[in-house]
Amino acid sequence: MGSIAADPLTPRLGKIVEETRRMLKEVGNNPVKVTVSSSLKMVGIQSSEAIVGGKVGQSEVSFAFKSDEREFRHKPQEVLGPYPLEYFLSSLGFCELTQYGRYAAYLGLKLDDVRMQVKGVFDKRGLYGLDDIDSAFMEISITANIIGDLTPDQARELVKWVRRCCVVYNTLKKAVKIIENISLNNNHLETYVSEPSQHITVSKP
């Protein structure tokens, strides 16, 4: 639980968020568009590599990571990385955890940690193109335990900010049912269900 306190960003993040919000408000109704990109290539018949990165100060950073379909491999050493869908679900968790830290700092809350598990359920028949079965996730569940010196009302307010500001969550909720079970210090706080606001029509190849 000391990882947040030890992060050199922690004491200044609240002011950064406050100042960024102030500057964005001055823009008015004009969109402030941000482009995020990833460069990918195949490194095997079922494995791929992605490279991402960008500027940090005056320098450039880059990260490379691989995905693989381990169900087709025979030995652990043959597996180059997680399933693509594990990255997909992790991106939802990463994005939400970022918002938890960001808005805890902005609200001045004493957050020690957030432990989270993200699960998705889909019909494997759709993955293999059978009939008119949709290959999309049928539902995604998020189980989060907020750890820190927060009251239930403070935790609920923090969750509202996370739900409002998480880019991945707000993208996915348009297409798939998302069930959230939130706890505070291992005590259940709330269950929230978001139903999709649009439906995707499956077309045969």
pLDDT at 1: 46
Q: How confident is the model at residue 181 (pLDDT cuts 50, 70, 90)?
A: very high
In this structure, the number of other CB atoms found within 10 A of the CB of residue 22 comes to 9
Can you give the pTM of this predicted structure?
Answer: 0.92
pLDDT tens digit sequence for 68-103: 999 999 999 999 999 999 999 999 999 999 999 999
CA gap 91, 1 in Å, rounded: 22
Q: Give residues with Cβ within 8 angstroms of 26, minimum separation 6.
A: none
Q: How confident is the model at residue 64 (pLDDT cuts 50, 70, 90)?
A: very high
In this structure, the number of other CB atoms found within 10 A of the CB of residue 40 comes to 11
Question: How much of the chain, in percent, has pLDDT values that exceed 90?
Answer: 91
In order of their start, the domains of the chain are 3-30+84-194 (3.30.300.20), 36-82 (no CATH)
- Across 114-130, b (16+ Cβ under 10 Å) vs e yields bebebebebeeebeeee
Residues belonging to the chain:
205
pLDDT tens digit sequence for 110-145: 999 999 999 999 999 999 999 999 999 999 999 999
Residues 122/137, Cβ–Cβ less than 8 Å: yes
